[in-house]
């Protein structure tokens, strides 16, 4: 399949680089469906006669596979180019839905784990990193803006998938959505089949629209010397193999891990948390279920818009400074939320919105931060390895929050004070992340790839 090769995707002269962000968005909007699984979760519980935890494992497996496949396949993605990567991602993602639907129709839960979890998860990982290095190369003048646009799509994908899936379930099972009725397993199977076809088509549009810039291309008026003027930005390159040997990679890993863990702490508990924060002494809450649902929606908007707005802002402020804001200001806001969040719903909602926008911003700014530190050579592969921080945070975040809440009492009997230990632990994590980010310095020259006329005598060892 030579037509997928990197060499066949080199842009002709005059190609408009603004065609690349929609191509990247087409992929990210599709794989962002992973955050809309709650729509059919109850239906699958009923269909398989399984527990919520057993069904939740489907999503957990997918996220773990996302991190693993991004880390393992990153170098392959950089070598083979975005078209082949997007095509492969589309094949895995759509196959995941097809195998998953087979599992639903045949009442085999393990097939759903294998399909959506393992196969689909591989599609998630490859798809997530597929456009990143290409966007950075097309937008050397605004890498934060470019990656922010694409990664915003991952947040936006759930906003689309959620209402569309609800409408499709209603179409396949007319009783779905009525009070007390849970959609049939068959309707979820049909939904999976539909999503497989639609996502395959959309991702193919992305794969066949994306192009890589020709060697040496740069945008009109772009002066690389100006970029270099920032102290942390390098014009050298570091391979993925060497990047993981540097202290800088692990400091950014810690910063991302702490930022994501803290964000997930709120996201996972969003709906019950707002109700518990405003629980009255008689056990009722000032926040109704509809208000809680609205709050979850608002957080989704904050997550998505933060990815774009903060990442684009980082082109002006620099990556290290914006991470200081995510982690430092985030720690302050988290403290206010823990200690005074229950005094006013407006204050509570505003704090949570900004905190979640920092969570999204951390994701979207990471590729540009890596570009600054390690150059463009294998930035996709390095980004893939960094995403293991996401997988780790996906386990640590809910674990911390649930462990503290379990110790405080039963769901429905919790109040604002019950959340303080968990939230203050998140503050501690954010402070650790802040310090890690503060310690980031330029990468030592011994890790740089040799340039013409400059050779490296030996492979650099792990940095102490």
Partner 1 sequence: MSSAQSSVTPSTGRLVIAWALVGVPLAYGVYETLTRVAALFG
Applying CB under 8 A, which residues contact partner 1?
13-19, 22-23, 25-26, 29, 153, 156, 158-163, 202, 205, 209, 214-222, 288, 290-291, 293-298, 300-301, 304, 349
Map residue 271 onto helix, strand or coil. Answer: helix
CA 252/CA 439 separation, integer angstroms: 9
Q: How far is the CB of 37 from partner 1 (least distance, A)?
A: 16
Give the shortest CB-290-to-partner 1 separation in angstroms: 4
Q: Which is nearer to partner 1, 162 or 239 (CB)?
A: 162
* E-state strands within 268-341: none
| CB 107 to partner 1: min, Å | 32
Give the Cα separation of 380 and 79 in Å (integer).
Answer: 10
Q: How far is the CB of 197 from partner 1 (least distance, A)?
A: 15
In angstroms, rounded to a whole number, what is the distance separating the alpha carbons of residues 266 and 261? Answer: 9
- Nearer to partner 1 among residue 356 and residue 393 (C-beta): 356
**Treating both helix axes as pointing N-terminal to C-terminal, what angle do 330-340 and 247-277 enclose, rounded to 10 degrees?**
20
Q: How would DSSP label each residue in 348-391? A: HHHHHHHHHHHHHHHHHHHHHHHHHHH-STTHHHHHHHHTHHHH
Distance, CA of 259 to CA of 393 (rounded, Å): 9
Of 60 and 166, which has the nearer Cβ to partner 1?
Answer: 166
Collect all residues with Cβ–Cβ distance below 8 Å to 428 and sequence separation of at least 6: none
Place of tokens 């979207």: 364
Shortest Cβ 68–partner 1 spacing (Å):
28
Q: Which is nearer to partner 1, 297 or 442 (CB)?
A: 297
Closest CB 99 distance from partner 1, rounded Å: 25
Q: Which is nearer to partner 1, 309 or 349 (CB)?
A: 349
The tokens of 148 are what? 């922010």
Q: Give the pair of three-digit tokens for residue 387.
A: 């995403």
Which C-beta is closer to partner 1: that of 36 or that of 111? Answer: 36
Tell me how far, at minimum, the Cβ of 17 lies from partner 1, in Å.
6
Q: Looking at beta carbons only, is 200 or 438 nearer to partner 1?
A: 200
Least separation in angstroms between residue 217's CB and partner 1 is: 6
Distance, CA of 80 to chain centre: 23
| Residue 355, C-beta contacts closer than 8 angstroms, at least 6 positions apart | 262, 263, 266, 330, 333, 334, 337
Instruction: Find tokens 């774009």 and name the residue.
Output: 308
Contact 437, 251 (CB under 8 A): yes
Nearer to partner 1, 52 or 293 (CB): 293
CA 443 → CA 193, 238, 249, distances in Å? 47, 9, 9
């Amino acid at each position: 399949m030579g037509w997928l090769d990197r060499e066949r995707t080199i842009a002709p002269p005059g190609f408009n680089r603004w065609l690349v962000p929609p191509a990247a968005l087409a992929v990210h909007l599709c794989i962002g469906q992973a955050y809309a699984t709650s729509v059919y979760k109850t239906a699958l519980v009923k269909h398989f006669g399984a527990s919520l935890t057993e069904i939740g494992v489907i999503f957990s497996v997918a996220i773990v596979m996302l991190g693993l496949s991004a880390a393992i396949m990153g170098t392959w993605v950089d070598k083979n180019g975005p078209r082949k990567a997007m095509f492969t991602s589309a094949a895995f993602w759509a196959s995941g839905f097809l195998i998953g639907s087979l599992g639903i129709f045949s009442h085999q839960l393990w097939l759903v784990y294998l399909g959506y979890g393992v196969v689909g998860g591989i599609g998630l990982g490859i798809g997530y990193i597929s456009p990143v290095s290409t966007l950075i190369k097309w937008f050397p003048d605004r890498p934060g803006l470019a990656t922010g646009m694409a990664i915003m799509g991952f947040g936006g994908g759930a906003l689309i998938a959620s209402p569309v899936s609800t409408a499709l379930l209603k179409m396949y099972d007319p009783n779905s959505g009525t009070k007390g009725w849970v959609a049939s397993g068959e309707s979820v199977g049909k939904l999976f089949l539909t999503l497989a076809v639609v996502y395959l088509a959309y991702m193919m549009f992305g794969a066949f629209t994306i192009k890589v810039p020709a060697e040496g291309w740069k945008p009109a008026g772009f002066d690389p010397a100006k970029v270099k003027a920032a102290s942390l930005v390098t014009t050298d390159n570091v391979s993925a193999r060497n990047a993981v040997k540097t202290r800088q990679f692990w400091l950014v890993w810690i910063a991302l891990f702490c930022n994501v863990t803290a964000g997930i702490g709120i996201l996972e508990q969003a709906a019950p948390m707002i109700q518990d924060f405003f629980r009255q002494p008689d056990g009722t809450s000032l926040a109704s279920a509809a208000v809680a649902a609205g709050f979850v929606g608002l957080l989704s908007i904050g997550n998505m818009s933060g990815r774009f707005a903060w990442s684009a802002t980082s082109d002006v402020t620099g990556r290290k400074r914006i991470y200081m804001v995510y982690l430092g200001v985030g720690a302050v806001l988290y403290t206010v939320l823990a200690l005074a969040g229950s005094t006013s719903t407006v204050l509570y909602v505003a704090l949570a919105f900004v905190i979640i926008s920092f969570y999204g911003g951390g994701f979207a700014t990471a590729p540009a931060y890596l570009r600054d530190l390690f150059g463009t050579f294998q930035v996709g592969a390095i980004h893939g390895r960094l995403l293991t921080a996401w997988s780790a945070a996906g386990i640590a975040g809910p674990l911390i929050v649930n462990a503290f809440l379990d110790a405080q009492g039963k769901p429905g009997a919790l109040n604002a004070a019950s959340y303080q230990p968990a939230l203050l632990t998140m503050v501690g994590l954010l402070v650790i992340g802040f310090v890690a980010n503060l310690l980031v310095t330029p990468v030592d020259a011994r890790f740089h790839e040799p340039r013409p006329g400059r050779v490296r005598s030996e492979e650099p060892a792990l940095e102490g």
